[in-house]
Amino acid sequence: MTDATRWDLLGCYRESGIATPHLDRLAASGTRFERGYTAQPVCAPARSALFTGTWPHSNGTWSNNLAPGLDVPTLGQRLRDRSVAAAYIGKWHLDGTDYFGNGRCPDGWDPAYWYDMRSYLEELSPEDRRASRDPATVEHPGVAAGFTYAHRCTQRALDFLAEHEGDDFLLVVSYDEPHDPGITPPEFAARYRDFVFPDDDNVRDDLAGKPAHQRVWAGPGLAEDRSAYRRRDVRYFAAQEFVDQQIGRVLDAVDERAPGALVVYTSDHGDMLGSHRLHAKGPAMYDEIARVPLLARLPGVTAPGSVAPHPVSHLDVAPTVLTHLGLDVPDLLPGTPLQPVLADPSVRVNDAVFVEFGRYEVDHDGFGGFQPMRGVFDGTYKLVVNLLSDDELYELTSDPGELHNLIDVPAHAGRRDALHDRLLRWMNETRDPFRGGYWERRPWRADAREATWAHDGLTRQRPDDPGYEPRLLDYVTGLEMTETVRAKEPAPGASGTPVPGSGTAASRPGG
């Protein structure tokens, strides 16, 4: 995986002029998922979904600088406990510290191959550390590939593949590139000195009718004359080509050492790159940052050059890995294995996919602060509920640039409200700790229920995770629960009347 690669940076998705021959080769030999979505378009929350198989709001990593809870096993732990080798090489960003990590191998992953960004920095002199973070370093003629984090991660990956040839294993190679500062050998930057990324209409979006917090995010750019706007970012584009080269080295080794392996490529999120007058990533669910490249190859199963058109999620990756290795997928994991799609790309496994947002980063006061958002996309319509701002609805078939907010357009109210019901149901199903009546009672939802203290009146305990958590106990009886979702009843001797059960609640919005 890479960090901050927009879906359309890859040539197999869009002919932009950026060279990605090795990822394009992977797509040509397997399946390209046309509509892959991250769980949250920020580094740590996105990674928490990939490597625990649970939602950021469920595992506790709803912002950068937060770590998954102690009761949330990673894929590494699940595989290690079943005698499958698991190695994680590269950016982790899930230990709750800073951007670089703490240099300590988490439980479940092979410590002999662990190599987070702190591990890399600790190999460097103070001067080289500064150079590794200085964008101007790409101008220095002495920078060799071996100096870069990407190259050193690749070397470890090649060593792991050589050692584990013939074994069952999971190998994660997590590059920081093309995320800034985008350090590459100078010849890569030289190739993009005059490069301009293709134009899109939404770079001129005036954000009229869009959420207020997006206009704040755009800042001075909101008043900028964009008639001659050009998208240039030498380091970002160069780093994408450079990391593609490094991925090519890994793919060559896989072909030699493990030719039958399931190979998956993705990115944690994208980059706005000036679309909607916004930069980087943050509290929005536009395709520029929420839609991710997702490629998979399984020899003998995936048809070369096939395209899967229906929406899939990063939440589907962990169940896919477990299923491929012949392991059970616990009820705790909400995603869907993608094996049916690998065999037949026309198969649809999700009626909708979801994206969330909580906060960009705990350490920083900026980036909009706390921005609770929940979104749902059914393949045509995308609904985004911005709890502290204004809501959005887009019809992507006719408006792929997401320029026209349809949230208050009567002709789309039926589809909007049905998606809203689906979103509320998902929040309940996943035990979203931020759920409540305020997500239902939106200005445009005429049939929303009156606010009540009990709301749906249900208890929603955590699903089973055999081998990691005992079956949870019923608060009222002290016995093992029989249903994870049930009517909330008073404890013995307590006053009050039990709330009606889930049968009636299920027919109401969000029940």
Residue that is last in its domain, among 350, 382, 410? 350
Contacts by residues 217-221 (CB-CB < 8 Å, ≥ 24 positions apart): 217/278, 217/282, 217/283, 217/284, 217/368, 218/276, 218/277, 218/278, 221/277, 221/278, 221/279
CB 464 within 8 A of CB 481: no
Residue that is last in its domain, among 350, 376, 402? 350
Q: Are residues 472 and 346 both part of a single domain? A: no
- CA–CA separation, 115 vs 448, rounded Å? 50
Domain-embedded: residue 432 = no
Flag whether the pTM goes above 0.85: yes
Question: pLDDT tens-digit profile of 323-361?
Answer: 999 999 999 999 999 999 999 999 999 999 999 999 999
* Domain coverage including residue 510: 456-511
- CA–CA separation, 471 vs 175, rounded Å? 38
With bands split at pLDDT 50, 70 and 90, how would you rate the model's confidence at 448? very high
Model confidence at 295: pLDDT above 60:
yes
With bands split at pLDDT 50, 70 and 90, how would you rate the model's confidence at 488? confident
The three-state secondary structure class of 313 is: strand
Q: What is the mean pLDDT of residues 290-307?
A: 98
DSSP strands (E only) in 145-277: 169-174, 263-266
Q: Are residues 308 and 173 both part of a single domain? A: yes
Domain-embedded: residue 143 = yes
Q: What is the mean pLDDT of residues 133-140?
A: 90
Model confidence at 497: pLDDT above 80:
no
Domain count, the chain: 2
Q: Are residues 25 and 172 both part of a single domain? A: yes
Model pLDDT, residue 142: 79
Model pLDDT, residue 499: 39
Catalytic residue among 57, 93, 276, 324: 93
Model confidence at 249: pLDDT above 90:
yes
Question: pLDDT tens-digit profile of 47-86?
Answer: 999 999 999 999 999 999 999 999 999 999 999 999 999 9
Domain-embedded: residue 296 = yes
Cα–Cα nearest to 362, from 104, 51, 44: 44
What is the token pair recorded at 238? 């160069």
Residue that is last in its domain, among 295, 315, 350? 350
Model pLDDT, residue 494: 57
Domain-embedded: residue 121 = yes
Q: Are residues 341 and 461 both part of a single domain? A: no
Question: pLDDT tens-digit profile of 186-224?
Answer: 999 999 999 999 999 999 999 999 999 999 999 999 999
Model pLDDT, residue 496: 46
Task: Quote the mean pLDDT of the chain.
Answer: 94
Model confidence at 301: pLDDT above 80:
yes
Cα–Cα nearest to 262, from 309, 305, 325, 312: 325
Q: pLDDT exceeding 70 applies to what percent of the chain?
A: 96
Domain-embedded: residue 147 = yes
Q: Is 290 left (phi over 0), alpha (psi -120 to 50) or beta?
A: alpha
CATH number for 99: 3.40.720.10
Model pLDDT, residue 446: 96
Annotation marks residue 153 as catalytic: no
Burial of 342 from C-beta contacts in 10 A (0-12 / 13-18 / 19+) = buried
Question: pLDDT tens-digit profile of 372-393?
Answer: 999 999 999 999 999 999 999 9
Model pLDDT, residue 492: 66
Q: Are residues 312 and 194 both part of a single domain? A: yes
Q: Are residues 336 and 464 both part of a single domain? A: no
Q: Are residues 338 and 487 both part of a single domain? A: no
Annotation marks residue 93 as catalytic: yes
Domain-embedded: residue 225 = yes
Catalytic residue among 12, 22, 43, 276: 43
Domain-embedded: residue 437 = no
Q: pLDDT exceeding 90 applies to what percent of the chain?
A: 94
Q: Are residues 343 and 485 both part of a single domain? A: no
